[in-house]
Structure 1
Amino acid sequence: MERNGVIKLIPRSAVPRQHTPLKSRFVFKVKRDAEGTPTRFKARWVAKGFSQRPGIDFDQTYAPTPAAKTILTVLAVSLQRQHQLHQLDFKSAYLQADLKEELYMELPPHFTDIGDGAQRYAGKVCRLLKPLYGLKQAGRAWAKKLHTFLKTNGWAQSNVDACLFTKLHDDGQRTWIITYVDDLIISGSSERHIRACKQQIKESFEAEDLGPLTWYLGLHLTSPADGVLHIAQTQAINDIVNDYNLAAAASVSTPMRVGIDASSISEQPDRRLPFRNLVGSLLYLGQPHETRLTRSTASPLPMTVTVWLLATVTCCVTAM
């Protein structure tokens, strides 16, 4: 972090009186491929942004992300026009952005216990030079840098979705880009223009070329010879099955029994059931494709929620 210009170690006594160093911690995550197989084990050092003071440590925080309908529309148009779909992944995206605020941060707990840490880092804190993960403004800073770069290089930003960009080339060919934090989709009919786009981005940012689009935001995408784009969420569904112990649940075709008398059900929810977790899991699963299940899950009635919710979770395992 120090070598890459993300932080600068300074004596604690050098921190201006009006600034309070933020706390920090490590977050561990397992990255998986389309089959759910672990591919990387990540340890990310993050700031505890909840302690930031508005107007002093940060100002604006909003960072755009593309609507699910935008992503699906671009995928559908690309398929209809026989475009190629490729993907780039920005490495430690936030750390490639610029931080305008003056911020200081503590070293993570027990960091000085490792190796010669006690001697090297005693009495030191960090001056943040880049928007570390966890800062309230980090996402906005990254989006601003990436979007400014694209617009400067001839990409037109959509008036409908701030994360959709298009470029009309001299030969009449058109290329689309969708940005989603550190993931980027490129759609175009010309392989030459796609290669040029990748090269231009990689000259200014540290990014990995992931090739043809097959795995995006938990979606497994395949486009066989029949001209139909198949989208699967096998891993996400398996996670829900495991989290809520539904592996032995029987498959059903409807969420609940026909003719059930909902008025006889108590309006008080069963506190033993994790209602919010269940609803959130279903809504997240249904984001890419609005269905009868997701519309109902978004606004369940108090009288029917107890029976309906568990039935819907079980049903969605096979229906979605």
Structure 2
Amino acid sequence: MPELPEVETVCRGLAPYLVGARIDNVTLSAHRLRFEYPQGFVQSLIGRTITAVRRRAKYIIAELDSDQSAIIHLGMSGRITLVGDGQALSFDSYLYQTGEKAKHDHVKLDLSKDGKTFQLVYNDPRRFGLWDIAQKADIDTSKHFAHLGPEPLASDFNGKKLLAQIGKKAAPIKLALLNQEIVVGLGNIYVCEALFMSHIHPERPANSLSVKEADLLVESSKNILLRAIEQGGSTLRDFQHADGNLGGFQNHFLAYDCEGKDCTTPECNGKITRIVQGGRSTFFCPECQK
């Protein structure tokens, strides 16, 4: 599943093309996604202009020139590409080059901008993604966002705020950081990396962290996310950019998927170990993560 850096990368890639584009037509496949499209979905989009593209957690939000916004989640295998006959809009059509079938195209937007026409194609073989419409004034309290915790990259997110979110929860810190009600969007890869950088054992009770440890963990989380965004995210199986290029951060993992490799921490003789927590693989160094 695309995590925060991957979704942020998609948003940044799409924004220059989508902002200012008018939605001339909407075509839906005969298959539903994770949820049914809301009533009036197509009518809410046709004729509207996209005024902004932003991210909240792992969701893409396309603001419209109305009182509504479109909400998109890529699920496990959702991908967005732009297809057009103009050079400026020639995103690589990776969906088709990599063998994905057009039958998995579930949402198509016919767009026009600056006298040119192009198409946004949402392809999702597993159909775990979603498209929805929400009132701008109510978006933070909508069913998608009301339960979500703070953004890890927010300027006011620090160790004190993380500890406040954790409260008395004694769950392993690895699982606590994957809880979207505590903090959003970190995901399995980046939690493993942040805990490694902070030298915090993934099985530590979340409520056992000191303020100093929490501050270090938040700082490490921000650093790892920003580095991943710079690299365009991590490509493991399904994720690719809107332009078809692969993310590159997987080439810089320090712990994730590094089982058996020497720990890179100076003066540590440990090796990266893999355990399973909550059905997810956790990679860490048992020597220097305490």
Task: Using structure 2 for the length normalisation, give the TM-score.
Answer: 0.27
Task: Using structure 1 for the length normalisation, give the TM-score.
Answer: 0.25
**Greater gyration radius:** 1
